[in-house]
Structure 1
Amino acid sequence: MVLAARGHCLPQVVYWGAPLPADEDLETLARAHAIDVTGGMLDANPDLSLCPEASRSFPGQPGLILRDTDGSPLLPKFAFLRDDSADGDLDLVYSDEANGLTLTFRFQRDIETRIITAKTILEATRPVHLHWLAGPVLPAPQQSEEMIDVSGRWCGEFQLNRTAWSPGIRYRENRTGRTGHEHFPGLLIPCIGATNTQGEAYGFHYGWSGGHRMIAEELPDGRRQIQWGHAARMETNADTRFESASLYVTYSQTGLNGCAASFQRHLRDRIVTWTKPGVPRPVHYNCWEAVYFDHKLPVLKDIASRAAKLGAERFVLDDGWFGNRDDDTRSLSDWEVDPRKYPDGLGPLIDHVHAEGMTFGIWFEPEMINPDSDIHRAHPDWALGAEDQTLGRQQKAMNMALPEVRDFIYDRMAAILSRHEIDYVKWDHNRVLPMPDADQTRGSYALIDRLRTDFPNVEIESCASGGGRIDFGIMKRTQRVWLSDSNDALERLRIQHDAALFLPLAVAGSHVGPRRCHTSGRMFDISFRAWVAAQRHMGFEMDPRELNAHEAAVLSEVTSWWKRNRDWMQHADILRLDASDPAIMAEQQMPRDGHRFVVFAGKGATSAQIAPRPLRLTSLDPAARYRVELINRNNAPALSRGHPILKEGPIEVSGTWLMHHGLTLPWHFPDTMWVIEGHRL
């Protein structure tokens, strides 16, 4: 990435892409970047700078909109002040002396993950009102016909949208106050001809857990800009300092997978702070879809024993253990153990779980409150928003900007965590906020940071009705995300496939759900459910008492396979494959040294053609030979009547053949998964 500036003006990105020769003449490059001037234009083109300024006649969306203390509009005009650089970090500092403003652009590069982290900071000599502050504004490639952003819904997260470039703006704003199922803050821009595995692509992620805004604008002159920032008017108070969240960007010459691998590595290796580095990710058991609010100690003990026998290593007690919580209408914020359900406290259950060789986790929804709760009756002013607001899941949000609210929540949670040996908190967030407010997000961050400091060995999962709060901002404070409340294996297959553009296996929880899915009503074979869960951080969430002997055996076998492979899989890249059959969603998980891989080929629909099309692999050594084996070939149905060689046993082939011809798999039904292991010889 090359930045350049004319005179004292703000800098602009004049090149971003493949590495340049070390002796490239950057002055010539900067001059060669300039576009021509013709009729109907100004006599010079205003720069598409890191913060486009309305005061310099920029024809598109400005990067900064603010008002003075008295509310009068300000039109800043910044000039160079200084630059500070060291060890791959760069600060570019600009000032507007007339308006008493300083603007800093901060860049950090990571050569290993190929991620550039960027941030914009605004400082003023007196309190000012901020309407909009973009992180460093970057150009979008001209050699692109479309952009890919991410939408979704409850039980249908990470839906990819392809939008053609055209004059004007693609404007997406999330005003729900949390990251949102509907607006994951990510953007991918493939250049013409790019696929999952080949071509050029650019990636963006805005690491903020509150409301955010994305602008992708094509100017009349053809230039394109990308802006990310907090949602407009999220800063409700005048202040002397504002900053954007971190904007993570990357460039790839290996298709969308290059962006995905960079985001996965950076999140896993740079963002997440692991409570027990080097310890394998444990197999989960979560009791929610087994008992819901109906907690009975003998039943929970029985379920825990069965889960341990199946291979679970962590037992998570979900909603319903506190207050008078018999349904979702009451007791949120009354974080004390329910003596009706647990007359001797949580100790007997925790002791039983530990005796079965599992660790213990527990559910909280700290930022929420039910009107029907002791705390709301005592402190109705602690709730965020108007008294007559529309409730969400029978609840309001706590006002996390208030120190007394954070202190109360901390004290209640710390009491539980101090009293018991608990190594995991499932942290839920089940409703959107009544309005976006940056102070709410900062308050939640402060509470989590305080708990992490005082309980450093407690891992936290970010759950928000599933995938409603997943971003690199919350992941600085947590170690796992719950991708979706849907345990429907077919829906999970697609959600996991698309979420892999940003998220690695190590943080992405995936559970084997009940035989009949509680959110879709569909029924799937245990093998399909188990292998879909084995694609990510594996767990169970069904009632193990419903399993027959065959189902228990299959689940135990797949769980054992996952345990044998998790050490390398949790550090592997997840590479999406370009399946020639639209019915197939396939991925290749492979560590950076490429010595082995596993391919998951899930079939989500009936194919148009009779026989499976070859599945090309990616990123292998063309000259190397690989031993490839279909490890679940015994699952081939009776309608698979031929003799493809993979049904007979392992084969040895070249990387070239695997990438240019591909694997010919046996015929199989929809809603099934083939699993292929490969080893470089």
Structure 2
Amino acid sequence: MTQCWRLDDGRQTLVLGADQGRLAEVVYWGSRLPDQEDLTTLYAAHAIDVTGGMLDENPKLSICPEAAWSFPGQPGLIMRHGDGRPFLPKLSLEQVQQDGNSLSLTYCDQHNVLTYRARFAIDPTTHIIKASATVETSEPMYLHWLSAPVFPAPQLSDEMIDFAGRWCGEFQMNHTAWTPGARLRESRTGRTGHEHFPGLIVPLRGATNTSGQAYGFHYGWSGGHRMVAEELPDGRRQIQFGNAADTEGQAQTRFETGTLYATFSDDGLNGCATAFQRHLRDRIVTFPRPKTPRPVHYNCWEAVYFDHDLNTLKDIADRAAALGAERYVLDDGWFGTRDDDTSSLGDWQIDPRKYPDGLTPLVEHVKNLGMGFGLWFEPEMINPNSDTFRAHPDWVLGDDDQIVGRHQMVLNMALPDVQNYLFDSIANILSRHDIEYIKWDHNRVLPTPDAGQARGTYALLDRLRSAFPQVEIESCASGGGRIDFGILERTHRVWLSDSNDAVERLHIQHNAALFLPMAVTGSHVGPRTCHTSGRTLDIRFRAWVAAQRHMGFEMDPRELTAEEAEVLKDVTTWWKANREWMHSADILRLDSADPAMIAEQQLAADGAQFAVFAGKAATSDQIVPRPLRLTRLRPDAQYRIELVNRADVHNLSRGTVALTSGPMTVSGAYLMSHGLTLPWSFPERMWVIKGELA
């Protein structure tokens, strides 16, 4: 007997089917099917042929491909008995629960030792499919690998796009051709990782940012993950995501994957991007004050580093407030005897040498300036040179002779004593001061991957969120080392990169927009000469790049000239005037005819206004800019277009470009078919265009 199930939203349909109670497989995923489609016929039509050199029946590419049925590729489950013997279950359907937009399928093995459950849910508004899997056993087992429910990859795709990176160089896009065999990406550092962001885009042939079909995936788990994108010998393709292999150190009776988020787009890569952006912003992140606009940040790290002096910090706060900052974040160096990065991590008591009267004088000064106060912590880490380590060396994760990183080791977050100590220490600071924000850092990799570490961190964050519901938390891990939807269920902002170099940020932000909305993506105006790259950049470029996301400053404001300060105030004022509609806007990557131009269009939720940020990252091959085509506008509507930073036009721009002389009104059809004609500029400059329905 064949059984089939479907989940739909306005643009996509997911159909699963199974025969004789076997594990279900995805038999269709793509554009919305008619309501009257015969799913049993689809299941039959999905079957592929058998010929020479093959088994007499094709093993199913199911939601958990089974090694026991001779599946020729990566199986979805690899387990061992407690005594080390391989366990190869054959699963049969036990229960189906379907309720509107959700589906749960429960299976048991032939000996009733294992129960496997797959869950699917589709969001009709954001167009995101959520999928996860759970395994329960009647005896303790060792888990090597458990995939979230497996999706097929399309045949009319020539490449996959995944994401690599490094410190100060996150979200680098890899374009890899489909070939027979498997592409495996695995983060084994114990956190999401700069190196292997858990995302994948599979475009169909000819897809661009703004047109064509594409499939998107993101795995929402912070403790290390594995991705397998495999083409089988018969041509079928599968996508698997799960926790990094062998990260459950003990035999257990229950294992669960993180949530796999997936979506189909018929609107290019932007269709995947807007689905992820909206779902994260509107379904996952829970802002303590959702009706309050995102505040402009000031972070003191690159101004003072560890050299904390109360009068200096007050002076910097005065200057930051005058520039337009609304939240002041005191970074590393306020606790223990923390004069550099060699000591005191774990000693979360205020340093009486630097703050003889505690943090209260600085907090009150900042509050009197009209700014909120934020504070830096790195709770999961400990220095061997700390009172806490000397008292509790048994709290450290890993061997005594492990390689330290940045003079620090890692606390074992799975230990209840560690969680209790950290909760009490942080709660003591928060309860005694008017603190609205925590920058939560994670500056080294784990000595060994351990899923219990991520679960312990989640538990601590959940406990703090419950006790201090009005405190916002930023996820920082040497910049972008822990960015995923799992950590963002518990935090409200990510520090996208430790690089404040606007050229590098332009690329990082552009690629991260495939998953992250403006509201959670921190971006700061750095020093005139960047501390991580040595590059010197104009304040206009630095300011406008930061204004693309959740804006802030992270430099010593005492270095600013009067002109630079005025530019920064002007850009900040513009950002504040537009941040409310930009908060819920879609970030759309534009297809630029000039590779030197990195451009995006932020389109308001109601379509009534937009902003285009056209950043010139390098020197163009041609003399003058090529037209820049926009997207998702109403073809028959008229738009009033204005170059926001018209004053930045250089005298070497000597032509009669219409945008340089004032606003103009043109149709959406023109803007999408021909595009904007921009004035000439030097590299490392940004044009900002505001558009509104006329």
Structure 2 equivalent of residue 313 of structure 1: 326
2-structure distance, mates of 1:189, 1:592:
26
Quote the Cα distance in structure 1 between the aligned partners of 2:152 and 2:566. 54
Residue among 220, 223, 237 paired with 1:207: 220
| Counterpart mapping for 1:413-428 below 5 A | 413-428=426-441
Query: Are 1:584 and 2:577 matched, yes or no?
Result: no
Q: What amino acid does structure 1 have at the position aligned with 2:360?
A: G
SS at match of 2:27: strand
Residue 354 (structure 1) aligns with: 367
Question: Could you tell me which of 228, 247, 254 is aligned with 1:241?
Answer: 254
* Residue identity in the other structure for 1:509: G
Partner of 1:35: 48
Match of 1:95, as an amino acid? C
Cα distance in 1 for partners of 2:351, 2:409 equals: 22
* Match of residue 53 from structure 1: 66
| Cα distance in 2 for residues equivalent to 1:593 and 1:13 | 35
Residue equivalent to 1:660: 673
| Cα pair 1:285 1:541 within 8 Å, conserved | yes
Report the equivalent of 1:401. Answer: 414
Give CA-to-partner distance per residue, 1:486-517, whole Å, 9 cap, x none: 00010000000000000000000000000110
Q: Which residue does the alignment assign to 1:388? A: 401
Q: Deviations over 1:545-574 (max 9, x none)?
A: 111110000000000000000000010000
In structure 1, the partner of 2:653 is 640
Residues in 2 aligned to 1:358 and 1:378: alpha-carbon distance in whole angstroms: 38
Task: Give the distance between the partners of 2:102 and 2:154, measured in 1 at CA.
Answer: 24
- Displacement of 1:260 after TM fit? 0.2
Determine the structure 2 residue equivalent to 1:337.
Answer: 350
Aligned to 2:147: 134
Quote the Cα distance in structure 1 between the aligned partners of 2:16 and 2:98: 14
- Provide structure 1 residue ranges, at least 5 long, that are not aligned to the other structure: none
Q: Pairwise mapping of residues 591-602 of structure 1 onto structure 2 (< 5 A)?
A: 591-602=604-615
Query: 1:103 aligns to what SS in structure 2?
Result: strand
Deviates more, 1:214-223 or 1:95-104: 95-104
After superposition, the C-alpha distances for 1:354-379 in whole angstroms (9 at most, x for unaligned) are: 00000000000000000000000111
Amino acid aligned to 2:172 = Q
* Counterpart in the other structure of 1:11: 24
1:251 paired with 2:264, answer yes
- From 123, 140, 144, the counterpart of 2:157: 144
Deviates more, 1:88-97 or 1:146-155: 88-97
Matched-pair contact (CA < 8 Å) for 1:76–1:99? no
Report the counterpart of residue 379 of structure 1 in structure 2. 392
Letter of the aligned partner of 1:235 in structure 2? E
- Residues 289-332 of structure 1 show CA distances to partners (whole Å, capped at 9, x for unaligned) of 00000000000000001000000000000000000000000000
- Report the Cα distance in structure 2 between the residues aligned to 1:680 and 1:618, rounded to whole angstroms: 14
| SS of aligned partner of 1:16 | strand
User: Which letter maps to 1:385?
Assistant: G
1:522 maps onto 2:555 in alignment: no
Q: How many residues align?
A: 681
Residue 576 of structure 1 deviates from its aligned partner by 0.1
Task: Determine the C-alpha separation between the residues in 1 that align with 2:635 and 2:366.
Answer: 49
4+ runs deviating over 3 angstroms: none
Q: How does 1:517-666 map to 2 (within 5 A)?
A: 517-666=530-679
* Structure 2 residue matching 1:348: 3-state secondary structure: helix
- Residue of 515, 521, 527 corresponding to 1:502: 515
Structure 2 residue aligned with 1:125, among 129, 138, 158? 138
Measure the CA separation in 2 of the matches of 1:273 and 1:593.
Answer: 22
Whether contact under 8 Å (2:581, 2:605) holds in the other structure is no
Distance in 1, Cα, partners of 2:588 & 2:547: 16
In the other structure, the counterpart of 2:465 is 452
Report the CA distance between 1:631 and its aligned residue: 1.0
Paired residue type of 1:651: M
CA contact (8 A) 2:601 2:611 kept: yes
Task: Determine if contact 1:149/1:186 at 8 Å carries over to the other structure.
Answer: yes
Distance 2:561 2:618 in 1: 27
Amino acid across the alignment from 1:34: A
Alpha-carbon shift at residue 611 of structure 1 (Å) = 1.0
CA-to-partner distance for each residue in 1:503-547, whole Å, 9 max, x for gaps? Answer: 000000000000110000111110000000000000000000111
Deviation at 1:57, TM superposition (A): 1.1
Q: Please, what TM-score do these two structures have when normalized by structure 1?
A: 1.00
Aligned counterparts, 1:149-164, within 5 A:
149-164=162-177
Question: Which amino acid is the alignment partner of residue 21 of structure 2?
Answer: H
| CA offsets 1:202-249 (integer angstroms, 9 cap, x no match) | 000000001110000000000000000011100111111111000000
Identity, % of aligned pairs? Answer: 68
Equivalent residue of 1:157, what SS? coil
2:37 aligned with 1:20: no
Contact 2:89 2:110 in 1 (8 A): no
Correspondence for 2:303: 290
TM-score scaled to structure 2, two decimals? 0.98
The one-letter amino acid paired with 1:84 is Q
State which of 493, 496, 500 in structure 2 corresponds to 1:483.
496
Question: Which structure 2 residues correspond to residues 460-471 of structure 1 after superposition, within 5 A?
Answer: 460-471=473-484
CA distance in 1 between counterparts of 2:184 and 2:122 reads 28
> Deviations 1:154-191 (Å, cap 9, x if unpaired)?
00000000000000000111110000000100000000
Partners of 2:155 and 2:16 in 1: how far apart? 18
Q: Determine whether 1:680 maps to 2:693.
A: yes
In structure 2, the residue corresponding to 1:55 is in which secondary structure? helix
In the other structure, the counterpart of 2:6 is none
Equivalent residue number for residue 512 of structure 1: 525
TM-superposed deviation, 1:99: 5.0
How much is the aligned-residue C-alpha RMSD, in angstroms?
Answer: 0.6
Paired residue for 1:231, among 234, 244, 254?
244
Q: Deviations over 1:237-288 (max 9, x none)?
A: 1111111000000000000000000000000000101111111000000000
Work out the CA distance in 1 between the residues paired with 2:82 and 2:112. Answer: 11
Query: Could you tell me which amino acid in structure 1 is paired with residue 236 of structure 2?
Result: R
Q: Which amino acid aligns with 1:288?
A: W
Q: Aligned letter for 1:429?
A: H
